[in-house]
Structure 1
Amino acid sequence: MSLLVLGINHKTASVALRERVAFGPEVAPRALQELMCTQGVGEAVILSTCNRTELYCSLEPEGDSHLVRMWLQNFHQLDENELNSCLYQYHGEEAVRHLMRVSCGLDSLVLGEPQILGQMKLAYTQSQKVGSLKGTLDRMFQKTFSVAKRVRTETEIGASAVSVAFAAVSLAKRIFSDLSHTKVLLVGAGETIELVARHLKEQAVSQMMVANRTLERAQNLAQEFDAKIMTLEQIPDYLPQADIVISSTASPLPIIGKGLVERALKARRQQPILLVDIAVPRDIEPEVDELNDAYLYTVDDLQGIIEQNMATRQQAANQAEIIIEEERDNFMAWYRSLESVKLIQDYRGHAEQVCQQELLLALQALAQGKDSQQVLQRLARRLTNKLIHTPTQALNQAGKDGNQDLLTVLAHNLKLGQH
Structure 2
Amino acid sequence: MAFLALGINHKTASVDVRERVAFTPEQLVEALRLLCSRTSSREAAILSTCNRSELYLDQESLAADEVLQWLADYHHLSVDDLRTCAYVHQGDLAVRHMMRVASGLDSMVLGEPQILGQMKSAYAVAREAGTVGPMLSRLFQATFSTAKTVRTDTAIGENPVSVAFAAVSLAKQIFADLHRSQALLIGAGETISLVARHLRDQGIKRIVVANRTLERASLLAEEFGAHAVLLSDIPQELVNSDIVISSTASQLPILGKGAVERALKQRKHKPIFMVDIAVPRDIEPEVGELDDVYLYTVDDLHEVVEENLKSRQGAAQVAEELVASGADDFMLRLRELAAVDVLKAYRQQAERLRDEELARAQRMLANGASAEDVLAQLARGLTNKLLHAPSVQLKKISADGRFEALAVAQELFALDEGESKP
TM-score band w.r.t. shorter chain: 0.7 to 0.9
Deviations 1:157-214 (A, max 9, x none): 1111111111101222333444344321122344433332343244443332223455
Q: Residue 149 of structure 1 aligns with which residue?
A: 148
2:12 corresponds to which residue? 12
Alpha-carbon contact 2:23-2:48 (below 8 Å) kept: yes
The answer on whether the counterparts of 1:38 and 1:68 sit within 8 Å (CA) in structure 2 is no
Rounded Cα–Cα distance in structure 1 between residues aligned with 2:32 and 2:214:
40
Task: Tell me, yes or no, if the aligned pair for 1:398 and 1:406 is still in contact at 8 Å.
Answer: no
| Alignment TM-score, normalising by the size of structure 1 | 0.86
CA contact 1:58–1:137 (8 Å) conserved in 2: yes
Q: Which residue in 2 is equivalent to 1:134?
A: 133
Q: 1:413 to 1:27 in 2, by over 3 A?
A: farther
Task: Determine whether 1:412 maps to 2:414.
Answer: yes
**1:68-79 matches, cutoff 5 A:** 68-79=67-78
Structure 2 vs 1, CA of residues 38 and 413 (structure 1 numbering), >3 Å: closer, same or farther?
farther
Deviations 1:38-70 (A, max 9, x none): 3321111111111111111112x3322211111
What SS does the aligned partner of 1:122 have? helix
Name 1:80's counterpart in structure 2: 79
Q: CA deviation at 1:272?
A: 3.6
2:389 aligned partner: 390
CA distance in 2, matches of 1:187, 1:240: 15
> When the two structures are aligned, how many residues end up with a matched partner?
414
Deviations 1:64-121 (A, max 9, x none): 2211111111111112222111111111111111111111111111111111111111
Post-superposition offset of 1:295: 3.5
Which residue in 1 is equivalent to 2:43?
43
Alpha-carbon contact 1:411-1:417 (below 8 Å) kept: no
1:46 maps to amino acid: I
In the alignment, is the contact (CA less than 8 A) between 1:273 and 1:294 conserved in 2?
A: yes
Q: CA 1:257 to 1:33, structure 2 compared with 1: closer, same or farther past 3 Å?
A: farther
After TM superposition, give the deviation of residue 282 of structure 1 in Å: 3.8
> Unaligned regions of 5+ residues in structure 2, if any?
none
Q: CA–CA distance in 2 between the matches of 1:393 and 1:414?
A: 21
Secondary structure of the 1:161 match is coil
- RMSD of aligned Cα (Å): 3.3
**Structure 1 segments unaligned to the other structure (5+ residues):** none
Q: Which moved more, 1:286-295 or 1:325-334?
A: 286-295
Give, in whole Å, the separation in 1 of the partners of 2:196 and 2:250: 20
- Structure 2 vs 1, CA of residues 250 and 389 (structure 1 numbering), >3 Å: closer, same or farther? farther
Structure-2 residue corresponding to 1:55: 55
Give the structure 2 partner of residue 231 of structure 1: 230
TM-aligned CA distance change 1:348 to 1:190, over 3 Å: farther
Structure 1 residue 135, shift from structure 2 partner:
0.8
d(CA) in 1 for partners of 2:155, 2:330 = 24
Per-residue deviation, 1:325: 1.7
- What whole-Å deviation, never above 9, does each CA across 1:373-402 have from its counterpart, x for those lacking one? 788876654443232123334665787867
Q: Secondary structure at the match of 1:37?
A: helix
Residue 116 in structure 1 maps to residue 115 in structure 2: yes
Aligned to 2:326: 327
Aligned equivalent of 2:338: 339
Once the two structures are aligned, what percentage of the paired residues are identical? 52
Q: Which residue of 2 aligns with 1:179?
A: 178
Contact 2:68 2:79 in 1 (8 A): no
| 1:349-369 deviation line (CA, Å, top 9, x unaligned) | 433455566678x49x959x9
> Which residue of structure 2 lines up, in the alignment, with residue 27 of structure 1?
27
Q: Residue type of the partner of 1:298?
A: T
Shift of the alpha carbon at 1:122? Answer: 1.2
Deviates more, 1:221-230 or 1:203-212: 221-230
Kept in 2, the 8 Å contact 1:366–1:375? The answer is: no
Distance in 1 (CA, whole Å) between partners of 2:24 and 2:212 is 31
SS where residue 186 of structure 1 aligns?
strand
AA partner of residue 412 (structure 1): A
Q: Partners in 1 of 2:417 and 2:347 — Cα distance? A: 19
- 2:315 matched to which residue of 1? 316
After superposition, the Cα gap between the structure-2 partners of 1:378 and 1:416, relative to the gap in structure 1 and judged at 3 Å, is farther
Task: Report if aligned partners of 2:181, 2:204 keep a CA contact under 8 Å in 1.
Answer: yes
- Alpha carbons of structure 1 residues 44 and 372: separation in structure 2 relative to 1, 3 Å: farther
TM-score (norm 2): 0.86
The whole-number CA distance in structure 2 between the counterparts of 1:412 and 1:379 is: 24
Using a 3 Å threshold, how does the CA distance of structure 1 residues 58 and 347 change in structure 2: closer, same or farther? same
SS in 2 for 1:30: helix
Residue identity opposite 1:167 in structure 2: A
Is the Cα–Cα contact under 8 Å of residues 38 and 67 in structure 1 kept in the other structure?
A: no
**Secondary structure of the equivalent of 2:283?**
coil
Task: Report the Cα distance in structure 2 between the residues aligned to 1:81 and 1:157, rounded to whole angstroms.
Answer: 37
Shift of 1:18: 0.8
CA contact (8 A) 1:398 1:407 kept: no
The AA in structure 2 aligned to 1:409 is E
Secondary structure of the 1:316 match is: helix
